[in-house]
């Protein structure tokens, strides 16, 4: 049973470009979470999605950031017009359906390291 | 607003020693508390999950306890090994049940 798959592992973008980060949850999982880890800081929650629905996006910046989890395919975290401050490790986690993370642990991928030149 | 604090930030011990990592949280209204391990450049590996109604969980040499009333959790590692060297993170699931709130972690180094 493959774990949470994130790609790419490393992504380099120039200021003003767009970054797309992909996350395939574990088999059978229908809940996806995105977290960001800035240098020297802890992980911060960004957004929680179920298939085709955003449940909680309270941690996501209001501008330039968006997330989706379509009926088919991986979840996508999209950052438009990237700036140097977006450089970070972005982690995706998933959990099974039902009561989501309340009774089940969240399982994390290896992350995407985003570097902005 | 939930805040999670981990003490100490770093810890170095010789192989074989038993050790305790501490985690405190400001809001006792958490659904569960999860301990993770993170190796450099890697993702997070879930170690133990303690539900809010539970007091502790055990897995091998690891034992985690939870005291909601005092806002504390501890991770006990018995007979530490060099392979235990990593950063250990604790995280509480928020009251809405939607997001993990993380501490900054304790970086453990076990020397042989």
Cross-chain residue pair A42–B32, CB shorter than 8 Å = no
Q: Are the CB atoms for B34 and B93 separated by under 8 Å?
A: yes
Compute φ and ψ for A73, nearest 5 degrees.
100, 180
Nearest to A56 among B91, B99, B101 (CB): B99
B37-56 pLDDT, tens digit per residue, is 999 888 899 999 998 888 99
Report the DSSP beta bridge partners of residue A114: A11, A88
A23-69 pLDDT, tens digit per residue, is 999 998 999 999 999 887 889 999 999 988 999 999 999 999 999 99
For residue B33, is pLDDT > 70? yes
Q: If you count DSSP H runs as helices and E runs as strands, how many of each does chain B have, helices first? A: 0, 11
For residue A86, is pLDDT > 80? yes
B63-104 pLDDT, tens digit per residue, is 999 998 899 999 999 999 999 999 999 999 988 888 999 999
Residues 6+ positions from A106 with CB-CB distance below 8 Å: A33, A93, A94, A95, B34, B46, B100
Minimal-distance CA residue of chain B relative to A113: B41
A94-114 pLDDT, tens digit per residue, is 998 876 556 788 999 999 999
How high is the pLDDT of residue B51? 87
Nearest to B44 among A48, A91, A100 (CB): A91
- How deeply is B46 buried, as exposed, middle or buried, from its count of CB atoms within 10 A (0-12, 13-18, 19+)? middle
Cross-chain residue pair B97–A58, CB shorter than 8 Å = no
Cross-chain residue pair B98–A55, CB shorter than 8 Å = yes
- Chain B residues touching residue A58 (CB < 8 angstroms): 99
Cross-chain residue pair A101–B102, CB shorter than 8 Å = no
Most B CBs within 10 Å: which of A7, A50, A98, A108, as the mutation test of the B interface?
Answer: A108
Nearest to B98 among A35, A48, A109 (CB): A48
For residue A77, is pLDDT > 90? yes
For residue B31, is pLDDT > 60? yes
- Chain A residues touching residue B102 (CB < 8 angstroms): 35, 42-44
How high is the pLDDT of residue A102? 64
Omega before B96 within 30 of 0, i.e. cis: no
For chain B, the residues whose C-beta falls within 8 A of a C-beta of chain A are: 4, 31-32, 34, 36, 41-46, 49, 51, 89, 91, 93, 96-105
How high is the pLDDT of residue A22? 98
How high is the pLDDT of residue B29? 81
Tell me the three-class secondary structure of B70-86, residue by residue. Answer: CCEEEEEECCCCHHHCE
């Amino acid at each position: 049973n493959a774990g949470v798959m994130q790609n790419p592992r490393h992504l380099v973008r120039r200021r003003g470009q767009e970054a797309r980060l992909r996350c395939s949850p574990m088999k059978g999982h229908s809940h996806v979470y995105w977290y960001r880890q800035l240098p020297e800081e802890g992980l911060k929650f960004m957004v929680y999605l179920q298939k085709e629905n955003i449940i909680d996006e309270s941690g996501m910046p209001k501008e330039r950031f968006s997330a989706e989890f379509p009926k088919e395919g991986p979840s996508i975290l999209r950052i438009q017009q990237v700036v140097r401050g977006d450089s970070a490790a972005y982690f995706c986690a998933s959990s099974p359906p039902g009561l989501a993370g309340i009774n089940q642990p969240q399982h994390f991928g290896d992350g995407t390291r985003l570097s902005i030149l | 607003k939930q805040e999670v604090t981990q003490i100490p930030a770093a810890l170095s011990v010789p192989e074989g020693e038993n050790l305790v990592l501490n985690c405190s949280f400001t809001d006792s209204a958490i659904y569960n508390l999860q301990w993770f391990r993170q190796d450099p450049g890697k993702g997070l590996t879930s170690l133990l999950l303690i539900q809010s109604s539970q007091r502790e969980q055990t897995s091998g040499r690891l034992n985690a306890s939870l005291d909601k009333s005092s806002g504390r959790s501890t991770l006990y590692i018995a007979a530490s090994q060099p392979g235990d060297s990593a950063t250990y993170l604790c995280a509480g699931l928020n009251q809405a049940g939607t997001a993990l709130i993380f501490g900054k972690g304790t970086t453990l180094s076990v020397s042989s």
